[in-house]
Structure 1
Amino acid sequence: MHRGSRRSFGCGACRRIKIKVNRKPRVFEICDRCLRAGRECVYPPQFHFIDTNTRFAVPDIQEQPALPRTGTEDLKTRLALLQGEGGNDGMIYKFQLLRYRSTTPPSSPRSSSPPVLKAPSLSRGEKLASALAASFKSPPYGYQLHHLGRYITEIPRRLGHNAALDIAVECLLQSHTQLLQAIQSSQPSSQPSPEYMRALQTLQHVIADPVLGTSTETVCATMLMAHYEMMAPERRSHQYIAHAGGASKLILVRGPRRVRTNFEYNLFRTQRGRIVLEALLRGEHCFLLTGGWQDICPEKCRSVRFSSVDYLFESICKIPTLVKYVLDWRAGVSELGLGELTDYGRKIQQDLRAASPRGSMSVSLEEDLGFEERKSSALDDECPLSVHFRSHEGAIFHSWRWMALLIADLCLVNLVADPRLRLRIADTAQRICMCYEYASLSKPLGAQFLQVPLIIAYAVSDQKRKDWITDKINLLMGGLYVTYTAQYLDSLSTMILKGIK
C-alpha cells in the first residue's frame, strides 16, 4: 500500500480551505470553525478493504495476522484479508482500497434511514393458495371445507398451472366467505354472478384443450364448481346435482389407469357416491363395475390407502345393476331367470350385512366405525332414539350401508313373498332417520353424507315420516339456499327407484 502524507483529521470544509487539524476528535462532532462560520460540517468518508481477486482463498480466522488498532471503534479501518503466494512464510497479503459510505454526524441534515427492502409480490396462484389454506383453520367445524372431500387440502400446491382450477377456487372461496359471514341477502339472486359465468367459460375452454381437458386439475375444477353451485346465493334450484355429473363424465373418460396418486384417488372416492346416484337416475349399470375399475384395489394400487368405506362401495356399486335387473324382469325383458336374479340380490344383501372393518385397514381413530344408540336430545316422537358415531367415516359407512340394504330389500320384495322384508325395510329407514342428530352437529357442509340416504328413506315411509324427513333435510341444508319440497322429494325418489316400492 502506498505511504502518503499524514492524514488530516479535519472536516471536509477545513480540508478545502487547507486548514490542517492533526488532533483526532473524540467523535465526529461539529468543529469550532464550522460552528462559528455557520456552515455545514461534513466529515470525509471512511475506507475499508475488500478483495476482488478470486484466485486466492480466505484463510481461517486463527491464521489471519492481527491488525493494529489505530483509534476508536468508530474510525477503525475495515480490511478484507486475502491469501496469496510468496513472502518469507510462503504467503503475501493483498489489499484493495474501496470507498465506503460516509458516516455523518447525528446533527447533519444529510442523515437518512437505510432503505427498506420490499418483499416480492405474490402471483395470483400463490395468493389463492394462501387464502385456501387459511380457510382450513378458522371456520367452525360444520363449515370446514375438508368435508367436501379429502382432496381439498392438496389443492393449494396445484394452483397456478390450470386456469379452470384457479377460477374455480376463487369462486369457491367467495361463496364460502359469504356463507361464513352470513352477508347474503335473505332472498337468493335470480341472476348468476359474473364470476360464475367467467368460471364456466374458462372451464369450457380448458375442457376443449386436448391436454388440459382430461387433466387431474380439470376434474378437480369441475367438482369445485358443483360445490360452488350448492353454496352460492343464486337461485339455481337443484341443478348442482346434475352439474356434478360433469366430473363423473371426466373420470369415466380418463379411465381407471389414471387413478395413480393419492390426490387422484381422493377425487375418485369423493365422486363415487354421485356416480352411483347417476346410474340409478339413468337406470343404467354403474360403470365402476366395468372397464378395469374393479382393479383399483390395495393389491394393485399400493400408492393409495384404502378404508372400510372403499370396500363397502364395491357392493354399493352393484345396487344400480340390481335395480335394472328387477325392472327388466317386471317388464318381461330380463336376461336372468327369477332364481338367478333372486340369488344375485341376496348375495348383495349378505355382502352389505357382513360389511365390517378389514383388519388393520381401519385401526386409526378417525376410521373407528363404532356407534351407539342414545336417547334423542330433542323431544321427538317420530325419532326418540339417535345414533351417535365415533367418527365421520363411521357415519358415512353406516348411513350408506343402510341405504344400500334398504334398496336391496326393496328389490327382493318384488321377487319373493317374504313378509320379513317389509319389517326390515321399515327398521332400516328408521335407522337412517336416527342419524339426523349426529349429522346436525356438522351442518351444513358436514351433513351432506345423509342427504341421499334420507331421500331413499322418504320413498318407503308413511306420510307422517315423509313430513318429518322433509323438515329435517331442509334443516341440514340450511344456509345453502337449497330447499326440498314434498313434490321434489316425491319426484326425485321415484326417479331413483323407478317405482320399485
Structure 2
Amino acid sequence: MSVFGPFIREVPSRIGHNAALDAAVAVLVNAHTSLIHKKMSNEIVSPELYIRAIKTLQTSLEDPQQGLSTNTLCASVLLGLVEALAGPREGNRYLAHVGGAGRLMELQGPEQYQDPFAKEILRFNRGGIIVTSIYERKPCFLLSPEWRNIAFDKTGLSFDDCLHTDLMQYMAELPEIFHKMKELSNRFDFALPSIDDALGTSLGELNSDLSDTCPSLDFSPNSFDSLDFFNSLQPVDTPPSISAAEACPQASARLVLLHKVQDLKDALCALGTHMDAKLAQGTTVCELPTIEENSPIHSSYHFNNWRDMTAYNCFWAVLILTNKILMRLLPPFDPAIYDLQSECRSIALQICRTWEDAWATKPIGAFHTGLSFVVAYEYCAPDVQDWIIRGLNSLLDYQMVDAFRWSEDVVAMMSSKLAGEGPDLVFSNV
C-alpha cells in the first residue's frame, strides 16, 4: 500500500494515539486483505468496521483538539482509500471523503503543513482535492497565495517529482476556469446570437460546443489565429477608437478567459517537452506489442513504475480537458479547432496504450482509469470505445462490484462532469 504515498509508511507508528486513526486503519487493512484474498462477500468493506470508523471520525472532528490534528486528517484520508479500494458501489462516498479532507486541510491552515507527515498527506491528496473542485466548479484553495508555495513546493524533489508537481499546479487551474465559464453562462446566459449583431460578423454562436470530437502532441496554441481575429474586429456603427471587445461584454469576457486558457495550454506544452523527451529516451517506458488478443490497440506502454504511469495518464487527461475548453471558447469553424480535435485523438491513443500496465497493477495501479480513460473515450473509434467499457467493467468484476456498471451513458456523464459541464455537484464538507 506504500504506493498510496510516503505518508502511509508512518501510519503504523501513530497507531494508539488517535481513536479515529486506529478505526480507519482497521477498516483499511480489512478491506485490503479482503481484496487481496478475493473473499467472496457482498462487500469488500466490513460494514461493522466502517460504521465504527465513521462514528469515531465524527467524534474526533467534534473535539476542539483532535478535530484539527494531523492524525484525524490522516483518518479521513484513509477512509477515502477504503472507498477507492471498494470501487464505485452504491453509496460510495469517496469524493465526499476527499472533499471533507480538503476542507479540513483548509480549516487547519497552511502553517500546519510544515510538518513532513502532514505535507506528504497534502501532496497525496492534491489530485483528489482538485477533482472535487472541478466537480463543484469552484476555485481550488490550493492556488490561493497562502497555500500555493506549500502545496506545490518543489524543494528537495527529484526532477520527476518536480514535473508531477508542475502538472498538479496546472491541473489546479481548471476548477477556476470552469467557475469563470459558469459565471459567463449565468451572466450572459450565452445569448450569443446577439453577438453577431453587435460585431456585425457571421461568427455564429461563440459558445457552440464543438467538443464532440478531438489532440498531436506537438500542437502549440501559439498558432491560434483566433485571438488576432478577435482583436481586429470592429463592431458596426461603433467608432474606430472603441474595440469590439469593449462594445460587446460577452466577447470581452470570453476573450479574457480564452487568453487564460491559452496560457495554461502553453504551460502544458512546455511541460510536455520534458514528458515527451522521457518517452523518447526509453528511460521511463518501453513500447511492446499488445498481448491481449483481438485488442484494437496494437502496442502497449510498460512503465518502470506505477507513479510514472499515473503521472502520464493525468498529464494526457489534463491536456484533453484543456483542449475541450479551448474548443468551447473559440469561434465555430476556427481552423485551430480541427487541430485540437486531432491532438485529442492522438492523446486518447496514448492513454489507451497504458491499459496493460493498469490491469497488471490493479486495483491500485488502475485508479487513474476513472479519469484518463473516461476523458479519452469520446475521442476514440467505436470499437475502442467498446473495448474501454469492457475493460472498466472488468476492473469492477475484480473488485466484486455488481451494483454499478460502466456504459456509454455513464462514461458520457462522468466525462461532462470532468469537463466542467452540467450542474454543479456538492460534496459533504467538514
Cα 1:235–1:400 change in 2 (3 A) is closer
Show the 5 A alignment for 1:315-464: 315-333=170-188, 337-355=253-271, 370-416=284-330, 417=334, 418=336, 419-461=338-380, 463-464=382-383
What corresponds to 1:314 in structure 2? Answer: 169
Cα deviation, 1:320-350, whole Å, max 9, x if unaligned, reads 2223333444555479633322221111112
Cα deviation, 1:279-324, whole Å, max 9, x if unaligned, reads 11111111111141112278x7858775321122111111222233
Structure number with higher relative contact order (C-alpha < 8 Å, ≥ 6 residues apart): 2
Q: Is the 8 A contact 1:261 1:304 kept in 2?
A: no
1:239 counterpart (75, 79, 93): 93
What corresponds to 1:10 in structure 2? Answer: none
Q: Is the 8 A contact 1:283 1:324 kept in 2?
A: yes
Q: Is the 8 A contact 1:308 1:357 kept in 2?
A: no
Query: Which structure 2 residue ranges, 5 or more long, are not aligned?
Result: 189-249, 423-430
Cα 1:329–1:318 change in 2 (3 A) is same
What corresponds to 2:32 in structure 1? Answer: 176
Question: Aligned partners of 2:295, 2:83: CA distance in 1, in Å?
Answer: 35
Question: Aligned partners of 2:88, 2:412: CA distance in 1, in Å?
Answer: 24
Cα deviation, 1:259-295, whole Å, max 9, x if unaligned, reads 1132112111111111111111111111111141112
The residue type equivalent to 1:351 in the other structure is: A
Q: Is the 8 A contact 1:369 1:397 kept in 2?
A: no
Q: Which has the higher helix share?
A: 2
Cα 1:233–1:476 change in 2 (3 A) is closer
Question: Aligned partners of 1:196, 1:289: CA distance in 2, in Å?
Answer: 33
The residue type equivalent to 2:388 in the other structure is: I
Identity value in percent = 26
How far is 1:164 from its partner? 0.3
Question: Aligned partners of 1:304, 1:326: CA distance in 2, in Å?
Answer: 34
* Runs of 4 or more above 4 Å deviation: 232-235, 300-306, 330-336, 459-463
SS at match of 2:389: helix
Q: Is the 8 A contact 1:389 1:438 kept in 2?
A: yes
Cα 1:205–1:459 change in 2 (3 A) is farther
Q: Is the 8 A contact 2:73 2:104 kept in 1?
A: yes
Count of aligned positions: 346
TM-score, normalised relative to structure 1: 0.63
Question: Aligned partners of 1:320, 1:234: CA distance in 2, in Å?
Answer: 23
Answer with 1 or 2: which has the greater Rg: 1
The residue type equivalent to 1:421 in the other structure is: L
Question: Aligned partners of 2:37, 2:256: CA distance in 1, in Å?
Answer: 56
Q: Is the 8 A contact 1:261 1:303 kept in 2?
A: no
What corresponds to 1:489 in structure 2? Answer: 411
Question: Aligned partners of 2:63, 2:49: CA distance in 1, in Å?
Answer: 21
What corresponds to 2:194 in structure 1? Answer: none
Cα 1:471–1:423 change in 2 (3 A) is same
How far is 1:460 from its partner? 4.3
Cα 1:279–1:297 change in 2 (3 A) is closer
What corresponds to 2:201 in structure 1? Answer: none
The residue type equivalent to 2:31 in the other structure is: S
SS at match of 2:76: helix
SS at match of 1:377: coil
TM-score, normalised relative to structure 2: 0.72
Q: Is the 8 A contact 1:369 1:394 kept in 2?
A: no
How far is 1:442 from its partner? 0.7
Cα deviation, 1:416-446, whole Å, max 9, x if unaligned, reads 2221111111111221121111111211122
Give the aligned CA root-mean-square deviation in angstroms. 3.0
Question: Aligned partners of 1:326, 1:301: CA distance in 2, in Å?
Answer: 31
What corresponds to 1:57 in structure 2? Answer: none
Query: Which structure 1 residue ranges, 5 or more long, are not aligned?
Result: 1-144
Cα 1:293–1:355 change in 2 (3 A) is same
2:54 counterpart (200, 225, 230): 200
Cα deviation, 1:147-204, whole Å, max 9, x if unaligned, reads 222211111111111000011111111122222222232x448x96222111111110
How far is 1:373 from its partner? 2.9
Question: Aligned partners of 1:304, 1:372: CA distance in 2, in Å?
Answer: 25
